[in-house]
């Protein structure tokens, strides 16, 4: 049976997530203006609410499933701009969980681990990374040299999972990952980057200068296993993008209503004002992208890997956030640009989702290769 | 899409298949994204109707979106076939004409 409805258990969790997002939205402007300050691990109001991500992940009876619910919780959280509970999970944790030995997992399971892939010359093309690790036979240590940029959770995290080229003791070469803990000599975290938006989002560059790492910290994720963490995160980013887009749409609808402009879905294009038509078209784009996210998450829930669908969700969400946040400003006019309202922040925050975690172009490459039956060599 | 994709893989321009050029491949990817989105929007509106619910909003959104996207896909389909897309020997020009009606089919209701 085809069913698009949420269960009452879903709605209960999402309602709680939305109440938290309303509080989060009150703090969002402060952290937008004070980008050098990290958000607290928990805001004071957090004690009144369960962490909705935990609820979604632990699987509540009668819910639509943790994959679907988690993405919708993130959508609500991004509606507000920041979560009351800071995430303790980084994509580096995903690498640890999937490829590390039980001993390594045990040691770092409670760490927040950032993932460090991007470099000045290697963003959309991570195979071009130049960070190197050389094995020192005398001390049984690896020596890491290189620079990583645009790293999330760089300051708030406890460690970084660093993708590096390596030359082993036996002369073998390739790509691999190392867990580098904060405080390791030779590992420096740069200042918070000055960004267009998502200014509350902890983002810095990392520098490794003759940074010595014990063999035990060699996590042995290869290029493929490291990049595969993005399979899960792509539709999630689509959901986050839609949270920002919906905040813009909700605000715009509310302001139009104050001016006496109601949205009717009954008539056709020739019966409605241009402003209503544009809002309906943006709502349609939102809905279109949302359903691609849910499709991808539903597949995950059924244990079917959503290879193309994950990219579709990311591409559709990223584009929707750009177009909707831009378009809402048109509909409200100069008032939209005031810092008394959330819309200028939505506009700036909403621009990131088509850039990070695989730009829209990279998602289109993945989709095109798949539908055309091309390899990455055939189509680049 | 089913008609256009094989053509772009066979048609060689400046030494490469048309489909190996990003400007074509990316538009094909967008066609795939939009056909998926249109399908789920239609299904969602239909499933509400199936249960006897009020699908006014969902139907309007699905219809408006399909009107835009189907036209865009047919338009790009003609473009990818170039002159061959303009000939009545191939069906894409017919789809281009047919999809033009989608967003005006609401008739009197639309006014």
As a whole number, mean pLDDT of residues A179-205 equals: 97
What's the CA gap between A190 and A154, in Å, rounded?
A: 9
Given a contact cutoff of 8 angstroms between Cβ atoms, the answer to whether A219 and A95 are in contact is yes
Long-range contacts of A371-380 (CB under 8 A, 24+ apart): A371/A308, A371/B1, A371/B5, A371/B28, A371/B29, A371/B32, A372/B5, A372/B8, A372/B9, A372/B19, A372/B25, A372/B28, A374/B19, A374/B20, A374/B25, A378/B20, A379/B19, A379/B20, A379/B22, A379/B25
| Helix spans in chain A (H) | 8-33, 52-58, 66-80, 91-99, 102-108, 223-227, 229-258, 274-301, 307-332, 343-349, 360-372
pLDDT value, residue A290:
98
Task: Report residue A221's pLDDT band, with 50, 70 and 90 as the boundaries.
Answer: confident
**pLDDT score recorded for residue A171:** 83
The pTM of this model reads 0.95
Q: Say what the pLDDT of residue B32 is.
A: 98
pLDDT at B110: 55
Contacts of A313 in chain B (CB under 8 A): none
User: What integer is the mean pLDDT of A102-112?
Assistant: 97
Q: What is the pLDDT of residues A16-61, one digit of tens each?
A: 999 999 999 999 999 999 999 999 999 999 999 999 999 998 877 8
Output the pLDDT for position B50. 94
Per-position DSSP letters for A92-129, written without gaps between them? HHHHHHHHS-HHHHHHHTTS-EEEE--BTTBSS-GGG-
As a whole number of angstroms, the longest Cα–Cα distance in chain B is: 56
Give contacts of B5 with chain A, Cβ < 8 Å: 371-372
Gap from B23 CA to chain A (nearest CA, Å) = 11
Q: Do A271 and B37 touch (CB under 8 A)?
A: no
Q: What is the pLDDT of residue A229?
A: 84
**How do residues A34-44 score in pLDDT, each as one tens digit?**
999 999 999 99
Has A76 been annotated as catalytic? Answer: no
Whether B106 has a pLDDT exceeding 80, the answer reads: no
- Which candidate from A280, A288, A367 shows the least CB-CB separation from B32? A367
Phi-psi region of A242 (alpha: psi -120 to 50; beta: other; left: phi over 0): alpha
Q: What is the pLDDT of residue A318?
A: 98
Percent of chain A with pLDDT over 90: 87
Percent over 70 (pLDDT), chain A: 100
pLDDT value at position A10? 95
What does the pLDDT average to over A252-269?
Answer: 94
Predicted local confidence at residue B111, as pLDDT: 54
CB pairs under 8 A between A and B: 116
pLDDT band with cut points at 50, 70 and 90 for residue A367: very high
* Residue located via tokens 């813009």: A248
Q: What is the pLDDT of residue A163?
A: 96
pLDDT band at A225 (very low <50, low <70, confident <90, very high): confident
Residues A14, A16, A19, A25: is their CA dihedral positive or negative?
A: negative
| Chain B, nearest residue to A378 by Cα | B20
What is the predicted pLDDT for the residue at A124? Answer: 86
Mean pLDDT of chain A: 95
**Taking the CA of residue A96 as centre, how many other CA atoms within 13 Å lie in the half-sphere pointing to its CB?**
29
Which of A271, A371, A373 best tests the B interface by mutation, with the highest count of B CBs <10 A? A371
Point out which residues pair with B27 in neighbouring strands: none
- Read off the tokens for A47: 């004690």
pLDDT value for A343: 95
pLDDT band at A280; cut points 50, 70, 90: very high
Is the pLDDT score of B109 beyond 70? no
Residues in chain B closer than 8 A to A6 (CB atoms): none
Q: Residues A217, A179: contact at Cβ < 8 Å?
A: yes
A286: confidence class by pLDDT, cuts 50, 70, 90: very high
- The alpha-carbon gap from A350 to the nearest alpha carbon of chain B, in Å, equals 20
- Helix or strand run (H / E) with residue A167: strand A159-167
Residue B46 clears pLDDT 90, i.e. is over it: yes
> Is residue B15's pLDDT more than 60?
yes
Write the pLDDT tens digit of every residue in B66-83: 999 999 999 999 999 999
pLDDT, tens only, A338-362: 999 999 999 999 999 999 999 999 9
In a 13 Å sphere around the CA of A292, the CA atoms on its Cβ side amount to 33
Residues of B carrying an active site annotation: 106
Instruction: Quote the CA–CA distance of A25 and A30 in Å, as a whole number.
Output: 10
The alpha-carbon gap from B78 to the nearest alpha carbon of chain A, in Å, equals 18
> Which one of the listed residues A141, A147, A283, A357 is annotated catalytic?
A357
Q: Which of B28, B37, B57 sits opposite A288 (nearest CB)?
A: B37
Tokens 């309007």 sit on residue? B60
Question: In whole angstroms, how large is the CA radius of gyration of chain A?
Answer: 22
Report yes or no: A220 and A319 within 8 Å, Cβ to Cβ: no
pLDDT, residue A169, reads 80
> What is the predicted pLDDT for the residue at A167?
87
């Amino acid at each position: 049976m085809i069913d698009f409805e949420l269960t009452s258990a879903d709605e209960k969790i999402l309602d709680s997530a939305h109440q938290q997002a309303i509080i989060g939205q009150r703090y969002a402007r402060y952290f937008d203006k004070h980008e050098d300050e990290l958000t607290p691990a928990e805001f004071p109001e957090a004690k009144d609410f369960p962490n909705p991500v935990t609820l979604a992940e632990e699987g509540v009876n009668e819910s639509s499933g943790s994959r679907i619910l988690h993405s919708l919780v993130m959508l609500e959280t991004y509606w507000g701009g920041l979560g009351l509970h800071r995430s303790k999970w980084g994509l580096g944790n995903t690498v640890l969980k999937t490829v590390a030995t039980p001993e390594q997992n045990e040691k770092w399971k409670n760490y927040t681990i950032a993932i460090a892939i991007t470099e000045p010359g290697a963003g959309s093309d991570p195979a071009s990374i130049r960070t190197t690790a050389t094995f020192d036979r005398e001390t049984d240590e690896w020596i890491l040299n290189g620079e990583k940029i645009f790293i999330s959770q760089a300051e708030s995290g406890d460690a970084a999972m660093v993708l590096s080229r390596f030359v082993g003791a036996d002369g073998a070469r390739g790509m691999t990952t190392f867990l580098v803990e904060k405080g390791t000599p030779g590992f420096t975290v740069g200042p918070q980057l000055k960004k267009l938006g998502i200014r509350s989002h902890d983002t810095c560059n990392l520098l490794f200068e003759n940074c010595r790492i014990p063999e035990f910290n060699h996590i042995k994720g290869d290029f493929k296993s490291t990049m595969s963490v993005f399979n899960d995160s792509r539709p999630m980013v689509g959901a986050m993008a839609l949270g920002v887009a919906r905040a813009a749409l909700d605000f715009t609808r509310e302001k139009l209503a104050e001016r006496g402009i109601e949205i009717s879905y009954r008539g056709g294009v020739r019966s409605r004002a241009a402003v209503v038509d544009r809002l309906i078209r943006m709502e349609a784009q939102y809905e279109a992208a949302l359903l691609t996210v849910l499709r991808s998450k539903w597949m995950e829930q059924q244990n079917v890997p959503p290879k193309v669908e994950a990219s579709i969700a990311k591409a559709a969400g990223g584009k929707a956030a750009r177009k909707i946040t831009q378009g809402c400003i048109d509909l409200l006019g100069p008032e939209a640009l005031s810092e008394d309202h959330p819309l200028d922040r939505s506009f700036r925050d909403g621009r990131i989702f088509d850039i990070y975690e695989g730009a829209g172009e990279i998602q289109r490459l993945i989709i095109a290769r798949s539908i055309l039956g091309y390899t990455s060599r055939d189509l680049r | 899409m089913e008609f256009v994709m094989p053509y772009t893989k066979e048609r060689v321009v400046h030494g490469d298949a048309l489909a190996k050029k990003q400007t074509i491949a990316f538009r094909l990817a967008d066609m795939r994204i939009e056909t998926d989105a249109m399908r789920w929007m239609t299904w969602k509106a239909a499933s509400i109707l199936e249960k006897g619910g009020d699908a006014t909003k969902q139907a309007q959104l699905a219809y408006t979106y399909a009107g835009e996207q189907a036209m865009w896909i047919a338009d790009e389909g003609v473009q990818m076939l170039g002159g061959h897309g303009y000939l009545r020997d191939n069906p894409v020009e017919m789809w281009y004409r047919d999809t033009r009606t989608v967003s005006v089919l609401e008739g009197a209701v639309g006014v």
